[in-house]
Structure 1
């Protein structure tokens, strides 16, 4: 459950809006004028950030924060949120996610309505009242690479491997490519040896699934870390052990309900700092390609102020 903090006055300045027109396969593209109108009714000027790629979107968010923006709002899914939090993490600049993507796990898990316009109303009311609430973020580190932030879940097992394969495939386009990547990786499924260090305590496990959650869900409602609380200053770690193909296929649908954690091959942990090491895995954070293992993940309490 989210911790409720006393209202804080949001800093003055315009509201910057980062909209991803391709989020959710474009089904909410026509909502943007209405979203801007409702945000403007909160009494602040509204500026739309221009970007033609994920990299440009992230750079635009950084520039807006550096330029003194009063709040940052995203219109898109978890990938759009991921770009924005790189800029607002730890700054105190209030943030509001309008869930308009294929996966809106962070917005929903932190209490925003799943309907985009209902979420805009919540954000606009918070802007008008100068109200924010603090939630945690996870900081992701790898030696020699700039740290990254993530808001929801880090995938470091089978799902990350599937994403990596799908991103290497040129065809087919759309969801079918991901389905084919799943089939290809199921055919070569094998447990990998992971070295986990949880608040300094080492563990060695053979596993096919490793997830480190600030919030509960990823992948559009899969409650992989069902007990994760984004206001407790801790990370939830879920490890699925030596699953064979048949067992994984049977267990995977249970992730949507979060009941997979009762399976005898699943272990759960909670820690402030989590080190994850294994050979040949690139992690995915908020559904976005992140850093190669090994990585260190640190829960940073109250690193983000939500417009709620």
Structure 2
């Protein structure tokens, strides 16, 4: 395998398939970098991640993820902590990592930016967050970890066999709102342990999740820190009122919403499975660590 290759991981179903025919145009623009191209073949997310790891271990010029946050998440598992840079072609529904890190919204413009960065041998060093589960499993994420109401909704939605499609998450929201209750968390923040009750809890490396909800609006992927945002126990009515303001990031002005910054946080709570970059990660407890400069982004 040539160390000069640009390897492309694509998800044809990302963004509800609306960019399915865009691959040839993206590859044409990436070819302007003057390097050979190879598209990875994978039938499942596990296969895709394994293919990315094999490519990076074998030596490549760059790994490019064409898809949404889930596709980028798979690529990050392979490039985190290595010298292999990451390119992002935003072809998903939310594209939160791309939006938060300055990747052009147009996928062809993003491909041009990746090619130019490779030609000019430049990139932006960005932090990633490293999750360590109780069993020692390590995962990386670039956007936001959810460990409160939104994670609970995701978990219920993923368990539902009917209806199919995104509408099941709308139903999951209604079902979980009906049984909304605060959860008791034990947090160890940079070595200091405390307990608290919270309805919402998110840990951000960058600002947004869920397709543009700026839950951690001040998170900065170059500061070596995590932004932790949580809401005290609140009523269903208050939660419904706060939710729209999350898209603007103004929810942090609500008197029951709080935030802090830390290099490392351990989260523990009963009965909660956390999600990062929209992907199911692990039941709590987990330890999340900010890793400065863990990835080079081609932008």
Bucket of the pairwise TM-score, normalised by the shorter protein = over 0.9
Q: CA deviation at 1:124?
A: 1.0
Which residue, 264, 267, 292 being the options, matches 1:301? 292
- Give the aligned length: 298
- What residue is the counterpart of 1:288 in the other structure? 279
Partner residue in 2 for 1:27: 18
Q: Paired residue for 1:218, among 197, 209, 218?
A: 209
Distance in 2, Cα, partners of 1:234 & 1:55: 29
RMSD of aligned alpha carbons: 1.0
| Residue in 1 that maps onto 2:270 | 279
Say whether 1:155 aligns with 2:162.
no
Deviation at 1:145, TM superposition (A): 3.3
Aligned pair partner of 2:53 in 22, 37, 62? 62
| Residue number in structure 2 paired with 1:131 | 122
Q: Give a deviation string over 1:90-112, Cα, whole Å, max 9, x none.
A: 00101011110011010110111
Please, which of 246, 252, 259 is the counterpart of residue 255 of structure 1?
A: 246
Aligned counterpart, 1:199:
190
SS of aligned partner of 1:216: coil
TM superposition shift of 1:42: 1.0
Structure 1 residue ranges, 4+ long, deviating more than 4 angstroms after superposition: none
* Structure 1 residue ranges without an equivalent (≥5): 1-10
Counterpart in the other structure of 1:52:
43
Provide TM-score, normalisation by structure 1.
0.95
What is the distance in 2 between the residues matched to 1:144 and 1:185?
28
2:219 pairs with 220, 228, 232, which one? Answer: 228
1:14 aligns with 2:5: yes
Secondary structure of the structure 2 residue equivalent to 1:279: coil
Rounded to whole Å, the distance in 2 between the matches of 1:298 and 1:123 is: 28
- In 1, Cα distance between the equivalents of 2:67 and 2:255? 37
Provide the rounded CA distance (Å) in 2 between the counterparts of 1:278 and 1:121. 44
SS of the equivalent of 1:72 reads strand
- Give the Cα separation in 2 of the matches to 1:42 and 1:192: 50
3-state SS, counterpart of residue 41 of structure 1: helix
C-alpha separation in 1, matches of 2:161 and 2:105: 32
Equivalent residue for 2:94?
103
For residue 12 of structure 1, report the CA deviation from its aligned partner.
4.7
Query: What secondary structure sits across from 2:9 in the alignment?
Result: strand
Q: Which of 61, 68, 75 lines up with 1:77 in the alignment? A: 68
CA drift of 1:146 comes to 1.6
For residues 117 and 243 of structure 1, the distance between their equivalents in structure 2, rounded to whole angstroms, comes to 43
2 CA distance for matches of 1:21 and 1:261? 36
How does the TM-score come out when normalised to structure 2?
A: 0.98
